[in-house]
Chain A
C-alpha cells in the first residue's frame, strides 16, 4: 500500500485521535489550574455521575443523527418519564421492579410514535420532535402540577444516580481504596488485552494487515495505563458509581451493535445513502423505527438517572438536555449530514463538555463565560471535523 493510501486510510483515526488529544489537553489544563482538585477522586466521581444522563442521551442521539434526523423532544421526554417513575413509586405504589420496565416501555412507545410521524407520515424529524418538545413539556407540567417537585424516597432507585457499587469488607490491605473497583479495572485490562490479541491473531489468519508489533504493544500499554489510572482514581473515593456501570454497559452494547451487527451496518448505510440502502433491500422505514425506538428507550433511562441523581422529579426536569446531547454528539465527531459518527465518539464528546462545565465551575468562572467557552469548543470541534474530512478527499 502506498504511503498516500495509508494516510488516506488513517484519516478517520486522525480525527478520532484529535478528540482524545483535545480531551487530554482539557484535563491537564484543569488539573493544573485547579491545583489537582479537578482530577481528585471525589471530583471525577461526581463528574461521571453528572454527565451520565447526558451521555446516555448522546448515545441514542448519535444514531438519530447518523440516519439524518434529529430529536429535540428527548429533554422533556426524559423529564416527563422521570416524573412518571417518581409517581409510579410514590403514588401508584408500584415496586421498583415494575416501575423501571414500565418507564422503559413508555420510552420506547414515545420513540416509536416519533418514528411513526417521521417514517410513516413523512414529517421532518425537526418538526415532529419540536412538537414532541412542546407536548412532553406540557405532559411534564401536568404530571407534576398537583404535587410540584416529587421527592423520591426509594433508596435503591436513588442509588442509580448517586450510589456506588459495594465493596468487600474486612480486607485490611490498601485501606481507603475500593477493592472491587480495582478488581474490575484489572479485569477490564485483562479482557481488553485478550480481546486485542485474539483480534490480531484472527486478522492475521485472514492475511490482512495489522499494526506493527511495536505499535500494537504501545497501543495496548497506553490503553491499559489509561484504564489503570482511571480505576485507581475512582477507587480512591468510593469506587465505581452505579451510573458509571450503567453507562459503560450501554456503551459496550451500542458499540457492539453499531459496529458488529447487521442492523448496525444498515443504520450507517441508511445514513450514507438512503436510496442506495432501499435499492439494496434495506428497509429505511424499519431502521428509522429501530433508531427512534432505541432513542426512546435511552431517554427513559436518562430520565430515571436524572431523577435518581436529584432524588426527585421536578417541574422543569430535562430542560435543555436535548441540546447538551446534540452538542456532545457533534463534539464527538458525528456529521450533521449523516452517515458518520461513533457511539464512543459521542461519549467522549459528552465527557469533554461535562469536563468543561465541571472545571470552569471549580475555577469559579462566571456562568455567562462558561456558555461562551462551550460555544467555542463546539464550533472548534466541528470546524476541525469538517476540515479533516475535507482534507481526506
Chain B
C-alpha cells in the first residue's frame, strides 16, 4: 500500500526520544517522509507532534534516536544548521517582521548582496524584488506588490509569504505547524491550494494541523500521535467522514496500531 521500497526517503527519523524533566514527550517515534509527499501529522494537544517537528528542525536535541536526510545521518545542532541542510519550518506564529516589505521577509537573514563588505554589504534590492515577484508568480500567490509592508497584508497573505519564503531557497523538507489556524475559510482554501502547488513543484512537506479536513484534502499519508507515540501510519484514502471517525478513534486512544510495543511501556 505504500511506496516504501522506493528510493531513499527525504527524511527518516528512527526511535526519537525526548524528555522534559520527568515528562517523556517522545517515547521512541519513527517517521518517514518520501520525496514529493505531503505527510499529515495529527494528534491531541501534548501528543508530541510539535516536539517531534522541533527535533527535526533542530530546535530540540533528542536524547535518543537517529535522523537521516536523504539517507545521510545527521546531528542537528540548531535551527540554522537545519535550515542550511534544507529543512525549512513555517512557524505557527509565522516568524515574519510586519514592519518590513514582502521582499525583505522572503530574504530575511539571507539577503543577496551586490558588494561584499561583511555586515555593511550592499543589498541587491532590485534583484531580490524581482526574485520575490517570480516566486509569488510561480506559487500563484495573489499579493499586489512585493513592496507592500507585511502589516498591510491579510492573515492568509501573510501565511503565504511565510510559506513562500521556504521555497526561495533549495529546501528539501518544509514543515508547517498549523498553517491554517486563525485563518478565514477563504484564506484556508488558498493556503491549501498553495500546499498543493508546492507539492506539484516537487516539495516534500510535513503539515501539522488540528483541522482533519485540511489534512484529508492535501495529505498523501497520515501519522497520528498520542502521548508521545505514533499510533497510526497510513495513506489517506476513503471518504472524509470515515476518515475523520477513524482518525479520531486513534487520537483519543480507542485504537492503536503499535500497541504491542507500547504495552510493555505502559502500566
A residues adjacent to B (C-beta < 8 A): 1-2, 5, 8-9, 11-12, 202-203, 206-209, 257, 260-266, 268-269, 271-273, 275-277, 279-282, 290, 339-340, 392-393
Are B121's CB and A261's CB within 8 A?
Answer: yes
When the two chains form the complex, which single residue of B83, B98, B111, B147 contacts A272, counting CB atoms closer than 8 Å? B98
When the two chains form the complex, which single residue of B79, B99, B122, B126 contacts A279, counting CB atoms closer than 8 Å? B79
Give Cα A280–Cα B104 distance, bound, in whole angstroms: 12
**A9 and B99 in contact (CB under 8 A), knowing A208-B126, A280-B108?**
no
**Total CB contacts across the A-B interface at under 8 A:** 101
Are A281's CB and B94's CB within 8 A?
Answer: no
Nearest-CB residue, chain A, relative to B107: A265
**A281 and B80 in contact (CB under 8 A), knowing A9-B147, A268-B97?**
yes
Give Cα A265–Cα B108 distance, bound, in whole angstroms: 8
Q: Which 8 pairs across A and B sit closest by C-beta, in order of nearness?
A: A280-B109, A272-B97, A272-B99, A339-B99, A276-B95, A281-B109, A263-B119, A5-B144
**A262 and B97 in contact (CB under 8 A), knowing A269-B104, A276-B108, A393-B151?**
no
Give Cα A288–Cα B164 distance, bound, in whole angstroms: 29
**List of B residues within 8 angstroms of A257 by Cβ:** 120
Q: How far is the CB of B51 from chain A (nearest CB, A)?
A: 17
Chain B interface extent, by class:
35 or more
Are B126's CB and A273's CB within 8 A?
Answer: no
Chain B 148-179 near chain A by CB (<8 Å), digits 1 or 0: 11011000000000000000000000000000
**List of B residues within 8 angstroms of A208 by Cβ:** 126, 129-130
Give Cα A8–Cα B96 distance, bound, in whole angstroms: 19
**List of A residues within 8 angstroms of B108 by Cβ:** 269, 276-277, 280, 282
B237 interface residue (CB < 8 Å to A)? no
Nearest-CB residue, chain B, relative to A5: B144
Give Cα A10–Cα B206 distance, bound, in whole angstroms: 38
Are A265's CB and B104's CB within 8 A?
Answer: yes
B183 interface residue (CB < 8 Å to A)? no
Nearest-CB residue, chain A, relative to B96: A276
Q: How far is the CB of A340 from chain B (nearest CB, A)?
A: 5
Q: How far is the CB of B12 from chain A (nearest CB, A)?
A: 25
Q: How far is the CB of A366 from chain B (nearest CB, A)?
A: 41
